[in-house]
Amino acid sequence: MSKHRLTLLFLVLAFGANAPAQCVLDPIRVERIEGYLLFGFQGQYRVLDKAEVRLLDSGNTQTVIAAVTVGKDGHFEMADAKPGKYVLSARSEALIPASVDVEVTKPKGAGSKRLILAVLAADAAKECGGASIKVQPKAEVDRVLSTAKRPAH
């Protein structure tokens, strides 16, 4: 096992033993559910290609409105999400899931240049293990993606 994988496994196991089942982050507002899901640790990112993003009913988070498996590049999209209030949940094997209240608004004309950047992490020193789900300008998402390592297939 590589040093990187062994360190990652240790962090996930150490952090996961004392962590809540899920971390809820600050709410976001978007015109569409589209973005990327990455693993992040100490400023470095890796594409999570074996992960899922779910859109849940805000009144009953056991009700799944939509679910998508992220693509090999970490991309996800739920084109049919109607305007309303939901919970967006990002999850990947061996990592603590993260959720955020999300309000989907009606599009305001030309396509938005903002995407959701969801980062799952395993840093015991940070709140929510360092996870984040934020709306970022497309240029910022592209910058982060350009530094992200791709999984070996």
Question: 87 lies in a domain?
Answer: yes
* CB atoms near residue 58 (< 10 Å): 15
- 51-80 pLDDT, tens per residue? 999 999 999 999 999 999 999 999 999 988
Question: 79 lies in a domain?
Answer: yes
Q: What is the mean pLDDT of the chain?
A: 83
Question: What value does the mean pLDDT take over residues 78-91?
Answer: 94
Question: 13 lies in a domain?
Answer: yes
Nearest to 15 by CA among 92, 98, 121: 121
Question: 77 lies in a domain?
Answer: yes
Residue 24: how many CA atoms within 13 Å on its side-chain side? Answer: 7
Question: 153 lies in a domain?
Answer: no
Question: 152 lies in a domain?
Answer: no
Enclosing domain of residue 33 = 3-147
What is the domain count for the chain?
Answer: 1
The two three-digit tokens of residue 52, written as one number: 């899922």
Question: 141 lies in a domain?
Answer: yes
Q: Residue 85's pLDDT is what?
A: 97
CATH number for the domain including 123? 2.60.40.180
- 1-59 pLDDT, tens per residue? 444 443 343 344 344 434 445 677 899 999 999 999 999 988 889 998 789 999 999 99
β strands within the chain, DSSP E:
23-30, 33-41, 44-47, 51-57, 64-69, 75-78, 84-92, 98-104, 114-120, 132-137
Question: 67 lies in a domain?
Answer: yes
Q: Residue 65's pLDDT is what?
A: 95
